[in-house]
Every structure is written in structure tokens, then in C-alpha cells.
Structure 1
Amino acid sequence: MGVPHFLLIPYPTLGHVNPLMQLSQVLARHGCKITFLNTEFNHKGANTAAGVGIDNAHIKFVTLPDGLVPEDDRSDHKKVIFSIKSHMPPMLPKLIQDIDALDANNNITCIVVTVNMGWALEVGHKLGIKGALLWPASATSLATCDCIPWLIHDGIIDSDGNPIKKQEIQLSTNLPMMDTENLPWCSLGKMLFHHIAQEMQTIKLGDWWLCNTTYDLESAAFSISRRFLPIGPLIASDSNKSSLWQGDTTFLDWLDQQPPQSVIYVAFGSLAVIDHNQLKELALGLNFLDKPFLWVVRPSNDNEANNACSDEFHGSKGRIVSWAPQKKILNHPAIACFISHCGWNSTIEGVCGGVPFLCWPLAKDQFVNKSYICDVWKVGLGLDKAENGLISKGEIRKKVEQLLGDEGIKARSLKLKELTLNNIVEGGHSSKNLKNFISWAE
């Protein structure tokens, strides 16, 4: 019997591709063979990033078309999901056959998908190939989606996923309270809710639901299902190679010149779009602080941010960039705190950097992640909106100063970093889980 051969299939957004790419690098380090399937459209973009599209001894890249034309709006997830679902499944068996034909002694033994790509587990199941899921958000959000039938049965949501009434619920003892208006599918619409409910059934063809988390971080979530397997934190050996985007990195020299724990790092993930008035308020807040800052603004918000900021900034206290190697930044000694939307990938990366958080959740599971950061782990503070719905420059200034003056939060952040990273050392909880998973996949 050869080494396990994994076929990894992410849904084509950064928040799915990055953790699956990190998993592929971890599996490759354990001697596994990896075939990584990108959509053709994503792969073309990835080839401009450092190393993503480059095969190495253990990781080979393959592609299939997503069924859309280049001009289609790929930020329309409904369009992307349903196009993929109708175009890719008939093509996957032939691709698997072609991959297996290249090395008859090392056929694909396991398919790992992220959510929205459960159809590939169905294809694998018919071909007798084992399957698993890598969930790209928190184990708590996975538990919430797994509880959809129970939430409908108990009258908390209707059959289209809408809350019957605004209330706080708790899925099980010791899990954070969550507002029914912030359930992971809220704001996605009826059609995508039904897709998620169906997807939760499909992914049961995967024996394991791998989570980029640790038992310590979300212990209560693991009581929901026996399938949950914490294997995090997933930390790629070279963070540049796990990103779809790359840009100018000259700001790293600037960062090296800043004093220890002096720079405020601001980033809202790859999907968030923030309105002009809020950007302006953030720009004014950063300017008032009179501290160096590094602000990552996604390309679609770029002009907005630069317009909002051009009048507000004086001198060269800060840098605005369209891309940054986030793990590298968060582990840099100059970083003082992280103003974050609390997406799960960012949350894990901040925890592993030992950096205090200023929480600015925008949607879905980010509100529960904020509860963990502020109320459970106590490594950050939340930003409160004013009556006009905006987070004011005064609030930003006040909370940054409060956060940077709180030695307890700093100490807990470093302790949580140590506790979390201990999971992936030899003999650590996540390390053992990963080895068991690899043995199962052979």
C-alpha cells in the first residue's frame, strides 16, 4: 500500500482555498501525495501569486471549468455555487480516472472538500473513495448549521431559515449565546439557506469534518457531533504560497523600522465591503490616534479607502495596502493590536500571533467569533456603534487606547497563543488527530 493520495477541492474563494492549501502543505509534510483542484478561473489568478500554481514533489495542481464565462460576477455566490453544481460533477470521474492513470500504484484514496463542494463527496462515494470535509469557519458555526433541523423543529427558525423572533439562543451548555439575527445563513436568502440545509446532509458522506481549531478554543462545540475533528491551527510553512493574491511587499521594510508593539493592524478579510462614511470615520480615528498603522483594503474598496483617507492623513504614520501576508504581519514584533472583522481565518491567525483584538464583526459567524474573543478567551474588546449605525472615530480612539493599556488582555493573548500552538507540536491533541486521520485515509 502506498502513501495516502488526497484530492482536495475547495470552494473557489480565498477563505476556503487558503485553509485547504494550508492543510495540503501539512499533509505533504507528512509524506502524503496531494492533488489540488482549482477552478480554471481561480487557477489563472493563482498563478500570479507566489507558488500557488506551481507543482512540487507532493502537491500537483489540476483544474476544471466552473461553468461561468470570464465576465460573470464571481462575487455572486448563488450563481457560482449553482453553476459549479451543474457543471463540475459530470467531469470529476474522468479527471479522477486521468489522475489515477498517471500513477497506478498511488490512486486517490480520499477526497477532502470545503462546504459548497459536497457534490464531490457524492462522486467519490459512488467510486468507492473515502471522503472528508474541511470546514473553513469555526467548529461552533459548523455545529450551528448541523442543528438546522433541530432549530426548525423547536420553532426558532422557519423552514426558510428566518428567525421566528429576535432572541438569544444557546445550542448547548457552555457554548456562547448567539443572536438569532446573526445565524450563519442570515442575509444569504431563502435559496442559499436551502442549499446549506441540503449541503449539511450531503457532507455526511464525509466520515470526518475537519476543523481549523483546537479542542481548547471551542471545547463545547465538539459535543454536537462525533464527526468533528480539530486539527488546527493550520499554519502553512510559507504563508505566501497559501494565498491567492499577492501584491507589493515594500511596506514590510517600513514595518521592520517601527518600534515593538506600536503598529495598529487593520484588516477586514477578502469579502467585506465597508461604506464610504464608515471608511472616513475609521480614517479619522486612525489619524487621531497618532500611532503607526497598517491598513489592508481589499481591491474593490481600494479607491473608496484612498479617497476617504487622502484628506485625513498627515505625514507618513500609516500605510494602506491592497494585500498583506497576514500571518507574517500578525507575528511581527511591531504589531500592537488587530482591528478585525473576526472572520475565522483571521481569528485563528490573530490568536497564533498572540495579538490583542479590537472586534468589528460585519456578518454571519463573525459575531459568535467576537463572543469567543471578548467573553470566553478575553483577548479583545468590541467596538460599539453610535446611534447613526457607524463606529465613530472617538469610539475607535477610546477602545484602541483602552486595549493597549490593558496588561491582562496582553498576558492572556500570549497565554492563548502558547496553548493553541501546543496542539500542533509532536504529541499535541491536533497533531494526534491529524496522524489518525492520515492513517484512516490510507
Structure 2
Amino acid sequence: MGIQHVMVLPFPAQGHVNPLMSFSKRLTKHGFRVTFVNTDFIHKRVASATNLVNLEGSAVRLVSVPDGLGPLDDRNDLANLSLAILRVMPSAIEKLIRDINGGSEKISAIVVDLNMAWALEIAHNLGLKGVVFCPSSAAIFVLQDNIPKLVQDGILDKHGFPITKGKFQLSPAMPIMEEASFPWYSMGDTTVELEPGALNLCPKILPVGPVLMESGGDELKSVGRLWEEDLSCLNWLDQKPPCSVIYVAFGSFTVFDLNQLKELALGLDLTNRPFLWVVRENASSSTKIAYPDEFKGTHGKIVNWAPQQKVLGHPSIACFFSHCGWNSTMEGVANGVPFLCWPYFADQLFDRAYICDVWKVGLGFDLDERGLISRWEIKKKVDQLLGDESMRGRSKKLKEMVVRSIAEGGESHENFRKFEEWLLK
């Protein structure tokens, strides 16, 4: 049998492109060819942040299709983006597959993001194998899979909205959930040891993660990123003592109003500790990032984007101030770093529950009377976290467990091998 050719289709957002690119790298390391399909918009972002010339001759081929939106449309409006995708992408994906399969390197299987599961029908109609990749926690997948039961039990109405406020658990080993924070209301890539309760409820999930711990050749290491990384922060970290730096990064979607941004900045000052803060240009609800006049920042370094895996693996990092996106959560866990949890929306609220309540490797924040996380609350929780040696000990044990799972002979490693064998049948 010749080289197997797989198409990979992520949802067009940083937290989806990144893990699916890592997943693709793992496939190519075992002899597969991959056609990786971004939207035109995301493809241009990747091209501007990465030297794509280095990909010539690579086993990963990057192609793109339209997303249905115009150049000035807001792609952070996920509902509008999703509707536009459904209007134009199915026909574009089918045409792309037919065109490729008119040549010699025919696609035999398609791996699609959970949010792009409509593409499975195209795969079925064309006689291809189809696989859904869940880039969020298994808990979110199980929650969505149990919507009919939640409606039957009177927790949700027929439209998916909470009937009453309260808390519930789908399994004793899963985080306690609140109806008001459902991902579809407030707006995998996992391993068995991290989510045994969720995975027991959905045995058809094959855990192969964390995929972000895998790395390909030099030409592929940063292809999934949408912003250019400021590597100067690594030299800055080299000058800091071990376990001394607060790493602050809130992903690609989190937006702060100016009042909350002010409290965050002054809170970092109050800690009197070195900090590395990632601040995107569009991280504020204002048209421009504006730091408060009182903000000194003398202990810190601010960058637009950072090489997060390298940062979290640096010995100077003491803790991770995070929005709790699943990619960031897995990167923090895989590096044994304790968390300060500041979720923004969607599945991040459940990820915080895993971090704080189930794994017990992080702390959350309390809001003040203004509905803000105050500078004093920030200092209080930083001091509490960094003064808790048992928290760091649990973080290190969690890291060891995850590393064992993806190592040869580990459960995630063996599951990925089974998946590859299925592709080759």
C-alpha cells in the first residue's frame, strides 16, 4: 500500500488550528501525507506569522478555501462566522477533495474539527473514512452528547437554555457544572488519566492527547500560530531566578474593558514579582490598549505574542495566569505549572473547574462589588498560590502522569497507534 493521504479541517481559530496542526505533525512522523485546509483569512494570517517557504516539500500541504465573510467582517463574531461557513464551505471542500482525488495522491480519510462535523457527510458521500477531532475537553463533548438527557431531566428546555439555576454533575469524577455557564449559553484533545469520568460516559472517544506536547521538524514547529512570536522574552526569562516569573496570557479571544485592564496592570505591580504579560493589540474593548498612568511595570516584560510552550517549559516560570482555554490548560499541565484561572467564555469555565476543583492545581478569583477582579484580589491569590508547596507538588505529579501517557507504551501513545492502523485498513 502506498502513502496514505489525509485531509485535516480545523475550525478557523487559533485554539483549533494549533492542536490539529500538532495532530497532523504526528501523522507525518509515521509516514502519512496531510492536506491541511484553512480558510483564506486564517491562511493569510499563518503566512504572515510563519515562513511558509520552509514547508516546500513537507508532508503537510497547506491549502485554503473561503469562509463566506468579507475582508472587513468581524471573525470574532463566532455565530456569524459559523453561519457563513455553512453557506459556502461544504461545496468548496467537496470540490477540493474531488480535484485532489483526480490526481495520483488520493485522499482516503478526513479528520475534522468537532465544530466542522458537517464535513463528515461529504466524506461519507465520497467514500472516505471520517474522524471527528475534539480540541476541547472530553467533558464538553460529553455534555453536548447528553443534551437530550438534560432536556428530559428538566435541566434544559427544548432550545437548550437552562430552565432553573443550579448545579449538577454528569459523573462523580467530572467537574460540577452550572447551567448558566453552558458553552452555548455563555457565548479529544485529552488523555484518559485527566478525564476518566467523562471518558467512561462516552467510550467511543479515543484519547490521544495532549497533542501539543508533540513537535515536528523545525519547518513545522510554529505553522499553527496566527501571530508572530516575540522570542526576546526567552532571553529575558533566562535572566530570572527559577520559579520566580508570573506568566500572564489570555489566548486569542479574551477582551478586557479598560477598568478591568487597569486592575490587572496594577495588580501585577502590587505583586512585586517579575511577570511576562502577553497583550494582543485587540485585547481591549477600547480601540487602543491604554495602561493606567500609575502602572510602573518595572518588574515585567510585555509582548504581543509569545512562544507559549517554550515559555511554560522555562525553569523561571512560577505560575500561569490563564484564560483556561483547553490548549493552554494542556500546555500548563504538561509543564507542571500551577494556574491562576481567569476564564473568559465557553468551555473555559469548565476547564477552570477541572484545574481548581478536580486536579487541584490552581486558584480562581473572586469579583468585587463592581464586578471586577481587583488589584488586591490579584495580589492575594498570587501570594496564596506561590506560597502553597502542595499545589506545585500536585502540578508536578500531573505532569508526570501526562508524560507517561504520551510516551511509548502509554495509553495515549497506544491509542494513536490504533488510530493509524485503522486509517491503513
Q: Is the 8 A contact 2:229 2:307 kept in 1?
A: no
1:31-180 correspondence to structure 2 within 5 Å: 31-51=31-51, 54-103=55-104, 106-180=105-179
Q: Deviations over 1:124-175 (max 9, x none)?
A: 1001101111111100011101111111111101112110010101112321
Alignment of 1:392 with 2:374, yes or no, is yes
Q: Is the 8 A contact 1:287 1:312 kept in 2?
A: no
Q: Is the 8 A contact 2:230 2:307 kept in 1?
A: no
The one-letter amino acid paired with 1:227 is K
2:190 to 199, 205, 213: 213
Q: How far apart are residue 100 of structure 1 and its match?
A: 2.3
Q: How far apart are residue 307 of structure 1 and its match?
A: 5.1
Sort the Cα spacing of 1:298 and 1:159 in 2 relative to 1 into closer, same or farther, 3 A.
Answer: farther
Q: Is the 8 A contact 2:257 2:284 kept in 1?
A: no
Q: How far apart are residue 305 of structure 1 and its match?
A: 11
Answer with 57-66 or 230-239: which moved more: 230-239
Sort the Cα spacing of 1:264 and 1:331 in 2 relative to 1 into closer, same or farther, 3 A.
Answer: same
Q: Deviations over 1:232-279 (max 9, x none)?
A: 011241652331221432222212111111110011111111111111
TM-score (norm 2): 0.94
Sort the Cα spacing of 1:310 and 1:248 in 2 relative to 1 into closer, same or farther, 3 A.
Answer: farther
Q: How far apart are residue 52 of structure 1 and its match?
A: 5.8
Q: How far apart are residue 352 of structure 1 and its match?
A: 0.7
Sort the Cα spacing of 1:55 and 1:12 in 2 relative to 1 into closer, same or farther, 3 A.
Answer: farther
Q: How far apart are residue 57 of structure 1 and its match?
A: 2.8
SS in 2 for 1:242: coil
Q: How far apart are residue 9 of structure 1 and its match?
A: 0.5
Q: Is the 8 A contact 1:302 1:322 kept in 2?
A: no
| Alignment-derived partner of residue 276 in structure 1 | 258
Sort the Cα spacing of 1:143 and 1:303 in 2 relative to 1 into closer, same or farther, 3 A.
Answer: closer
SS in 2 for 1:410: helix
Sort the Cα spacing of 1:427 and 1:9 in 2 relative to 1 into closer, same or farther, 3 A.
Answer: same
SS in 1 for 2:116: coil
Alignment of 1:222 with 2:199, yes or no, is yes
Instruction: Return 5+ residue gaps in structure 2 as ranges.
Output: none
SS in 1 for 2:7: strand
Alpha-carbon separation, structure 2, partners of 1:394 and 1:335: 22
Alignment of 1:241 with 2:244, yes or no, is no
1:401 to 377, 383, 390: 383
Q: Is the 8 A contact 1:288 1:397 kept in 2?
A: yes
Alignment of 1:311 with 2:311, yes or no, is no
| Alignment-derived partner of residue 342 in structure 2 | 360
TM-score (norm 1): 0.91
Q: Deviations over 1:59-113 (max 9, x none)?
A: 111111122221222112222111111112122222112222332xx42111111
Alpha-carbon separation, structure 1, partners of 2:75 and 2:285: 20
Q: Is the 8 A contact 1:173 1:220 kept in 2?
A: yes
Q: How far apart are residue 51 of structure 1 and its match?
A: 4.5
SS in 1 for 2:36: strand
The one-letter amino acid paired with 2:12 is P
SS in 2 for 1:63: strand
After TM superposition, where is structure 1 displaced by more than 4 Å over at least 4 residues in a row? Answer: 302-308
SS in 2 for 1:89: helix
SS in 1 for 2:86: helix
SS in 1 for 2:37: strand
Alpha-carbon separation, structure 1, partners of 2:159 and 2:324: 26
Alpha-carbon separation, structure 1, partners of 2:149 and 2:160: 12
Q: Is the 8 A contact 1:114 1:133 kept in 2?
A: yes
Identity %: 50
Q: Deviations over 1:347-398 (max 9, x none)?
A: 0000011101111122222222112111211111111112221111111101
Sort the Cα spacing of 1:294 and 1:427 in 2 relative to 1 into closer, same or farther, 3 A.
Answer: same
Alignment of 1:376 with 2:358, yes or no, is yes
Q: Is the 8 A contact 2:257 2:285 kept in 1?
A: no
Q: How far apart are residue 303 of structure 1 and its match?
A: 9.0
| Count of matched residue positions in the alignment of Structure 1 and Structure 2 | 418
SS in 1 for 2:294: coil
The one-letter amino acid paired with 1:402 is Q
Sort the Cα spacing of 1:335 and 1:306 in 2 relative to 1 into closer, same or farther, 3 A.
Answer: farther
Q: Deviations over 1:34-56 (max 9, x none)?
A: 11011112111110122568344
Sort the Cα spacing of 1:315 and 1:76 in 2 relative to 1 into closer, same or farther, 3 A.
Answer: closer
Cα RMSD of the aligned pairs, angstroms, is 1.8
| Alignment-derived partner of residue 204 in structure 1 | none
Alignment of 1:349 with 2:327, yes or no, is no
The one-letter amino acid paired with 1:232 is G
Q: Is the 8 A contact 1:374 1:381 kept in 2?
A: yes
Q: Is the 8 A contact 1:111 1:130 kept in 2?
A: yes
Q: How far apart are residue 187 of structure 1 and its match?
A: 2.8
SS in 2 for 1:309: coil
